Structure formats: structure tokens, C-alpha cells
Structure 1
Amino acid sequence: MIEVVPFTVGPVQENSYLARAQGGDRAVLFDPGEEADRLLAGIDELGVRLDAILLTHTHFDHVGAVAPVARATGAPVYCPALERDVMLDIDRYVPWPGIGPFENHEPEELVGGGERVSLAGLDFDVVFTPGHSPGHVTWALADGSALFSGDVLFQGSIGRTDLPFGDHQTLLRSIAGLLDAYPDEARVFPGHMGVTTLGAERASNPFLQDLVA
């Protein structure tokens, strides 16, 4: 059983998630986008040791607090391999003026999809889900009960593809892969908006109707 504590942070209202096995003393942190002090306070309040920082992708609103959180906790950063270069020069990839500056960080671990990663008493499958960004991955709990989907799938919506390197058809193929691979009851923890399930999105998400027809 997984226990998830959400934090909605920064001006873009990005969701970062602190996850642990039920009652465990170790945790992982997904997509620390902003407000490092708040995230660190949440880790302390939960009374856990941070085993890793897990990134779905490297858009600035998902990685802005990576470096300070990694430095404070000593936790290694798992990053999509295709997006490593962004972490080495985050500000260069910010598409709008007046945002940042952000502190760069060299990821300790690179993933590309197909890996199984065991951390904090939890087993995750790394699923390659490009389209919103070229190296985007979804972190799926190995029992299929939870998906940390970043900006692939939202409650009632899908990730935007008008940013550099986005591709709408690739994104739809990635979502179709998740719908095929995981049960309707799988909880979806998205990078923005509320928690949902695959079944709810299959039934009512207007962007998915062509996929499920």
C-alpha cells in the first residue's frame, strides 16, 4: 500500500508528491518544482528519510527545487536520460522571460523506460511516455495501482504539446499505452490538477474519446 502526500507549488501550481510505503520511514519525492523549503518541511514533518527524487520530465515547473532538495537531503535524482542536458542548464530551456533563475543539478541516475526501480520499500516501473516532452516517463507502481503521470494525463485533460519538442500524436500514443497496460482503478497522480483514475479518464476525458471509441 502506498501513502502519498501532495504539495501544489509555485506559480504554475505544479503537483509534487511525497510517497512512501504505508507507515514506512523512507520516501521518494516526485517532481519538486518550486518551494524547496516547504517540501523539506514536509519531509521532516512526515519523519522520513528521502531515498530519491524522481522526475517525470524536466520542464522548469517540475525541477525548480531539485538542486536545493537534493543538496539538503543527499537524495539521488532519477532523470529521463533524453532530458539530462536540461538539468545542466535549466534556464536555457525556460520558454518565457522573467521566470527563474534556477539552480542546475547533474542527475545521479538516468532512466529511459523499461526499468524497474526499488526505492523506499516500493517497486516502480519506468514507462516511456513522450509527447509532452521528448524524454517524459511515467512512474508506475509495479502492482499497477498508481501512476505518477507528470504532464501526460490530467483530470479531464492531457498535456500540452505546443511547447518545444512537443508532439500531439506521440502524446496520444503514450496515453493509449497506459490505458492498455493498467487497470481502470489505477490512481493517476498528475503534474497539475487533481488526482483521478484511468477509468474516470477513459469514461469522460474529452481528449481521449477517439482513443477509446
Structure 2
Amino acid sequence: MIEVVPFTVGPVQENSYLVRRQGAETAVIFDPGDEAERLLGAIDELGVRLEAILLTHTHFDHVGAVAPVARATGAPVWCPQIERDVLLDVNRYVPWPGFGPFENHDPEHTISGGERVSVAGLDFDVVFTPGHSPGHVTWALADGSALFSGDVLFQGSIGRTDLPFGDHGRLLRSIAELLERYDDRAQVFPGHMGPTTLGAERATNPFLQDLVA
């Protein structure tokens, strides 16, 4: 059993997740996008040691608090290899004025998809799911029970592909691969909006009906 504590942060309402084995003293955090002090306060309140910062991709709303959280906790950052340069120069890649400035970070680890990462007593399979961004990955619990899908799949929707380097066709192929690989009971914890399951999205998500057919 895992415990997932969600936080909706920043002006773009991005979801960050603090995850641990039930009752464990160590945890990981996914996509700390903003409000570093709030996230650090929650880590302290829960009484856990942060062992890793796991990124699905490096759009600013998903990485804005990476550097301060990493500095305060000493937790290493796992970043998609293709998008490492973005994390090294975050503000250069912010597509709209009025956001930031954000602090850069040099990630301690990079992933490309296909790896199994074991941290905080949890085993994750890293699944390459580009389309919303070129290096996007989904972090899946090794038993297939939960997917931290970033901006690939949402409740009733899918990731946008009108940002630089977006690819709608590739995004749909990434989603199709997740639907083929994982059971309908798999919980989906997306980067925006509420949690869902693969089965619910297969049955009701209007953007997936051609894939399901």
C-alpha cells in the first residue's frame, strides 16, 4: 500500500505528489512545480525524509520548486535525459511572460525510459511517454497499480501539444501504450485535475475513443 499526498500548486494549478509506503519514514516527491515552502512544510509535518525528486518533464509549472526543495532536503533529482538542458536554464523555456523567475538545477540522475528506479522502498518503472514534451516519462509503480502520468493523460482530457516541441500523434501513441501495458484498475495521478483510473478514461475520455475503437 502507498500513501499519496497531493498538492495543487502555483498559478497553473499543477499537481505535485508526496508518496511513501504506508507509514514509512522515507518518501519521494513528484514534480514540485511551485510553492516550495508549502511543500517543505508538508514534508516536515509528515515527518519523513525525502529520498528523491522525480520529474515527469521539465515544463516550468512542474519544476519551479525543484531547486529549493532539493537544496533544503538534499534529495537527488531524477530528470528526463532529453530535457536536462531545460532544467539547467528554466527561465529560457518559459513560453509566456509573467511567470518566474525560477531557479535552475543540475539533476543528479537522468532517465530515458525503460529503467527501474528503487527509492524510498518503492520500485518504479520509467515509461517513455513523449508527445506533450519530447522527453516526457510516466512513473509507474512496478506492480502496475499506480501511474504518475504528468501531462500525458488527464481526467477526461489529454496533454496539450500546442507548446513548443509538442506532437499530438506521438502523445496518442504514448497513451495507447499505457492502455495496452496497464490494467484498467491502475490509478492515474495526473499533473493537473483530479485522479482517475485507466479504466475510467478508456470508457469515458472523449479524446481516447479512436484509440479504444
The match for 1:91 is 91
Secondary structure of the structure 1 residue equivalent to 2:24: coil
Q: Distance in 1 between matches of 2:112 and 2:204?
A: 30
The match for 2:144 is 144
Task: Report the number of matched residues.
Answer: 213
Q: Distance in 2 between matches of 1:173 and 1:46?
A: 38
Scaled by the length of structure 1, what TM-score is found?
A: 1.00
Q: Distance in 1 between matches of 2:83 and 2:34?
A: 19
1:55 offset after TM fit, Å?
0.1
Q: Distance in 2 between matches of 1:10 and 1:119?
A: 27
Percentage of matched positions with identical amino acids: 84
Runs of 4+ aligned residues of structure 1 deviating over 2 Å after TM superposition are: none
- The one-letter code sitting in structure 1 at the alignment partner of 2:47 is G
The match for 2:204 is 204
- Summarize the alignment of residues 26-41 of structure 1 with structure 2, pairs less than 5 Å apart: 26-41=26-41
The match for 1:182 is 182
Q: Distance in 1 between matches of 2:149 and 2:156?
A: 14
1:72 offset after TM fit, Å?
0.0
Q: Distance in 2 between matches of 1:152 and 1:14?
A: 13
- The one-letter code sitting in structure 1 at the alignment partner of 2:184 is D
Scaled by the length of structure 2, what TM-score is found?
A: 1.00
- The one-letter code sitting in structure 2 at the alignment partner of 1:76 is P
5+ residue gaps, structure 2, are none
1:8 offset after TM fit, Å?
0.3
The match for 2:49 is 49
Q: Distance in 1 between matches of 2:186 and 2:109?
A: 27
Q: Distance in 1 between matches of 2:132 and 2:189?
A: 16
Q: Distance in 1 between matches of 2:97 and 2:23?
A: 43
- Summarize the alignment of residues 109-148 of structure 1 with structure 2, pairs less than 5 Å apart: 109-148=109-148
Correspondence 1:159 to 2:189: no
- Describe the superposition over 1:33-61 as per-residue Cα deviations: whole angstroms up to 9, x where unpaired: 00000000110111100000000000000
- Describe the superposition over 1:175-206 as per-residue Cα deviations: whole angstroms up to 9, x where unpaired: 00000000000000000000000000000000
1:98 offset after TM fit, Å?
1.4
5+ residue gaps, structure 1, are none
Q: Distance in 1 between matches of 2:140 and 2:207?
A: 22
Q: Distance in 1 between matches of 2:24 and 2:8?
A: 23
- The one-letter code sitting in structure 1 at the alignment partner of 2:176 is A
- Describe the superposition over 1:63-91 as per-residue Cα deviations: whole angstroms up to 9, x where unpaired: 00000000000000000000000011000
